[in-house]
Amino acid sequence: MRRLVILVLILLPFSGLFTSVPTFFFDDAIINTVIQVLVIVSLNVWLSIGTAWWLLFTETKWRTFIEWFLFLPLFIPALAGTFGMYIALARFGLVGTTIGVLIVLLVVTLPYSIRLAYNAMSVIGRPMFEQALFMPPLRRYRDVLFPLLSGTIQTIALMSTVIVLGQFVLIQLIGAGLISTVTTRLYQVYAGNDVALALQHTWLLILIPAVLYIAIGWGIRLGVKIVKGRL
Amino acid sequence: MSRVNVLLSMAVSLLPLTALVFLFRESVGADVWGLMQEETWRASLGVTLYVTLVSTLCSLVLGTLAARAVYVNGQNWLLRWLKWPLFVPHIASAYLFYLLFADGFPFGLIEANERHHLVVIVTYIWKEVPFVFLMVLGTYAQLNTGYRDMAKTLQLNPWRQFSVAEWPFLVKPLLDSFWILVAFISFAYEVPALLGVTFPKLLGVLAYDRLTTGLFLNESEAYAVALIWTLFLFGGVLLTYVLTAKHRRRIEKGVRR
Amino acid sequence: MKRFLIVGLMLVFIVSACGQEQAEVAETFDEAAKASEGTTVNFYLWGGDEGINRYLDDYVAPRLESSYGIELNRVPMDTAEFVRQLSLDKRADRERGTIDLMWINGDNFRNAAEADLLTGGLLERIPNATLLNEAAQATDAGTPTNGLEVAWGNVQFVLHYDAANVQNPPETFEELRRWTEENPGRFTYPEVTDFTGNAFVRHLLYAKYGDASRDMETIPDAFWDELASWSPNLWKQGQTYPKSLAQLDQLYASGEVWMTMGFNERRAEAEVNAGVFPEGTRALVLDHSISSTHFLAVPFNASNPNGALVVINELLAPEVQLMKQRDTYWGDGTSLDLDKLDERDREAFLSLDDGSTYPDPELLSDRQLPDYGPDVIDQIREGWTRVAR
Amino acid found at A15: S
Q: Say yes or no for a CB contact (<8 Å) between C89 and A192.
A: no
Distance from the A188 Cα atom to the nearest Cα atom in chain C, whole angstroms: 7
User: Beta-strand (E) ranges in C182-300?
Assistant: 259-263, 281-284, 289-297
pLDDT interval class at C11 (50, 70, 90): very low
pLDDT digits (tens, 9 = 90+) for C84-111: 889 889 888 899 999 999 999 888 999 8
**Are the C-beta atoms of residues A66 and B6 closer than 8 Å to each other?**
yes
Question: Where is pLDDT greater, at C13 or B39?
Answer: B39
**Are the C-beta atoms of residues C299 and C94 closer than 8 Å to each other?**
no
Lowest mean pLDDT among B107-116, B226-235, C76-85: B107-116
Q: Say yes or no for a CB contact (<8 Å) between A13 and B1.
A: no
Q: Say yes or no for a CB contact (<8 Å) between B1 and C191.
A: no
**Interchain CB contact of C231 with A (< 8 Å):** no
Interatomic CA distance for residues A213 and B87, integer angstroms = 9
The predicted model gives C212-217 an average pLDDT of: 86
pLDDT of residue B219 exceeding 90: no
**Are the C-beta atoms of residues A9 and B127 closer than 8 Å to each other?**
no
Of B92, B138, B237, the CB nearest to A119: B138
pLDDT digits (tens, 9 = 90+) for A72-115: 888 787 777 787 888 888 888 899 999 999 999 999 999 999 98
What are the chain C neighbours of B213 within 8 Å (beta carbons)?
80, 193, 381
Of A10, A85, A186, the CB nearest to B91: A186
pLDDT at C6: 53
Cα four-point dihedral sign C258, B205, C45, A180: negative
Interatomic CA distance for residues C389 and C386, integer angstroms = 5
pLDDT at C42: 97
Cα four-point dihedral sign C105, C111, C112, C113: positive
Q: Indicate the helix (H) or strand (E) that contains C226.
A: helix C221-228
Nearest CA in chain A to C87: A87
What are the chain B neighbours of C107 within 8 Å (beta carbons)?
214
Q: Say yes or no for a CB contact (<8 Å) between B215 and C378.
A: yes
Q: Say yes or no for a CB contact (<8 Å) between A93 and C16.
A: yes
Mind listing the domains of chain B with CATH numbers?
Answer: 44-255 (1.10.3720.10)
What are the chain B neighbours of C83 within 8 Å (beta carbons)?
214
What are the chain C neighbours of B214 within 8 Å (beta carbons)?
80, 83, 107-108, 111, 377
pLDDT digits (tens, 9 = 90+) for C330-354: 999 999 999 999 999 999 998 886 7
What are the chain B neighbours of C377 within 8 Å (beta carbons)?
214
Most B CBs within 10 A among A7, A48, A51, A161, hence the mutation to make, goes to A51
Interatomic CA distance for residues C13 and B247, integer angstroms = 45
Amino acid found at B20: L
pLDDT interval class at C40 (50, 70, 90): very high
pLDDT interval class at A193 (50, 70, 90): low
* CB-count burial class (<10 Å; 0-12, 13-18, 19+) for C3: exposed
Interface of A with C in 145-174 (CB under 8 A): 172-173
Q: Say yes or no for a CB contact (<8 Å) between C92 and A86.
A: yes
Chains contacting C (3+ CB pairs below 8 angstroms): A, B
**DSSP class per residue in C6-20:** HHHHHHHHHHHHS--
**DSSP class per residue in chain A:** -HHHHHHHHHHGGGGGGGSS-------HHHHHHHHHHHHHHHHHHHHHHHHHHHHHH---TTHHHHHHHHHGGGGS-HHHHHHHHHHHHHHTT-TTSHHHHHHHHHHHHHHHHHHHHHHHHHHH-HHHHHTTTTS-HHHIIIIIIHHHTHHHHHHHHHHHHHHHHH-SHHHHHHTTTTS--HHHHHHHHHHSS-HHHHHHHHHHHHHHHHHHHHHHHHHHHHHHHHHHHH-
**Interchain CB contact of B40 with C (< 8 Å):** yes
Mind listing the domains of chain C with CATH numbers?
Answer: 26-154+292-350 (3.40.190.10), 156-291+361-388 (3.40.190.10)
pLDDT of residue B256 exceeding 50: no
Rg (CA), chain B: 21
The predicted model gives A177-181 an average pLDDT of: 89
pLDDT of residue B44 exceeding 60: yes
**Interchain CB contact of B157 with A (< 8 Å):** no
Q: Say yes or no for a CB contact (<8 Å) between C246 and A176.
A: no
Residues of chain C contacting B, Cβ within 8 Å: 2, 6, 78, 80-81, 83-84, 87, 107-108, 111, 114-115, 191, 193, 236, 239-241, 243, 377-378, 381, 385, 388-389
Of C193, C236, C389, the CB nearest to B113: C236
Chains contacting B (3+ CB pairs below 8 angstroms): A, C
pLDDT of residue C16 exceeding 60: no
Q: What percent of chain C has pLDDT over 70?
A: 95
pLDDT of residue C155 exceeding 50: yes
Lowest mean pLDDT among A40-44, A189-193, A198-202, C344-348: A189-193
Distance from the A229 Cα atom to the nearest Cα atom in chain B, whole angstroms: 26
Question: Where is pLDDT greater, at B74 or C227?
Answer: C227
pLDDT digits (tens, 9 = 90+) for A119-175: 888 777 777 777 777 778 777 777 777 888 888 899 899 999 999 998 888 898 899
Rg (CA), chain C: 23
pLDDT at C14: 47
pLDDT interval class at C5 (50, 70, 90): low
Q: Distance of CA C255 to CAs B106, C183, C221, C245, C356, Å?
A: 22, 13, 34, 15, 19
**Interchain CB contact of A192 with C (< 8 Å):** yes
Q: Diameter of chain B by CA atoms?
A: 68
pLDDT of residue C245 exceeding 60: yes
Q: Say yes or no for a CB contact (<8 Å) between A126 and B256.
A: yes
**Interchain CB contact of C40 with A (< 8 Å):** no
What are the chain A neighbours of C50 within 8 Å (beta carbons)?
192
Interface of B with A in 195-214 (CB under 8 A): 204, 207-208, 211
Terminal C-alpha separation, chain C = 61
**Are the C-beta atoms of residues C180 and C252 closer than 8 Å to each other?**
no
SS3 labels along chain B? CHHHHHHHHHHHHHHHHHHHHHHHHHHCCCCHHHHHHCHHHHHHHHHHHHHHHHHHHHHHHHHHHHHHHHHCCCCCHHHHHCCHHHHCCHHHHHHHHHHHHCCCECCCCECCCCCCCHHHHHHHHHHHHHHHHHHHHHHHHHCCHHHHHHHHHCCCCHHHHHHHHCHHHHHHHHHHHHHHHHHHHHCCCHHHHHHCCCCCCCHHHHHHHHHHCCCHHHHHHHHHHHHHHHHHHHHHHHHHHHHHHHHHHHHHHHHCC
Interface of C with A in 126-185 (CB under 8 A): none
Interatomic CA distance for residues B148 and B143, integer angstroms = 9
Reference B5, options A90, A118, A209, A86; nearest CA is A118
**For C37-155, where are the alpha helices, taking DSSP H only?**
50-54, 61-68, 79-91, 106-114, 134-138
pLDDT at A109: 94
Determine how many CB atoms are found less than 10 A away from the CB of residue B81.
15
The predicted model gives A38-54 an average pLDDT of: 93
pLDDT at C22: 84
Beta strand pairing call for C281-284 and C149-162: antiparallel
Nearest CA in chain B to A75: B183
Mind listing the domains of chain A with CATH numbers?
Answer: 26-230 (1.10.3720.10)
Nearest CA in chain A to C253: A193
Reference A29, options A180, A214, A132; nearest CA is A180
pLDDT at B257: 40
pLDDT of residue B200 exceeding 60: yes
Q: Diameter of chain C by CA atoms?
A: 78
Nearest CA in chain A to B256: A125
**For C264-350, where are the alpha helices, taking DSSP H only?**
267-273, 305-315, 318-325, 343-350
What are the chain C neighbours of A97 within 8 Å (beta carbons)?
16
The predicted model gives A171-193 an average pLDDT of: 83
Distance from the C30 Cα atom to the nearest Cα atom in chain B, whole angstroms: 36
What are the chain C neighbours of B198 within 8 Å (beta carbons)?
191, 239-241, 243, 388
3-state class of C311 per DSSP? helix
**Interchain CB contact of C53 with A (< 8 Å):** no
Interatomic CA distance for residues A140 and C366, integer angstroms = 82
Nearest CA in chain B to A189: B95
pLDDT interval class at C1 (50, 70, 90): very low
Average per-residue pLDDT in chain A? 85
pLDDT digits (tens, 9 = 90+) for B143-175: 777 887 888 888 888 888 888 888 888 988 899
Reference C189, options C171, C170, C176, C178; nearest CA is C176
**Are the C-beta atoms of residues A182 and A201 closer than 8 Å to each other?**
yes
**Interchain CB contact of B11 with A (< 8 Å):** no
Whether the bond between B200 and the residue before it is cis, its omega within 30 degrees of 0, is yes
What are the chain A neighbours of C74 within 8 Å (beta carbons)?
none
Average per-residue pLDDT in chain B? 86
**pTM (predicted TM-score):** 0.88
Distance from the A76 Cα atom to the nearest Cα atom in chain C, whole angstroms: 19
Most B CBs within 10 A among C7, C79, C143, C191, hence the mutation to make, goes to C191
Nearest CA in chain A to B140: A123
Terminal C-alpha separation, chain A = 46
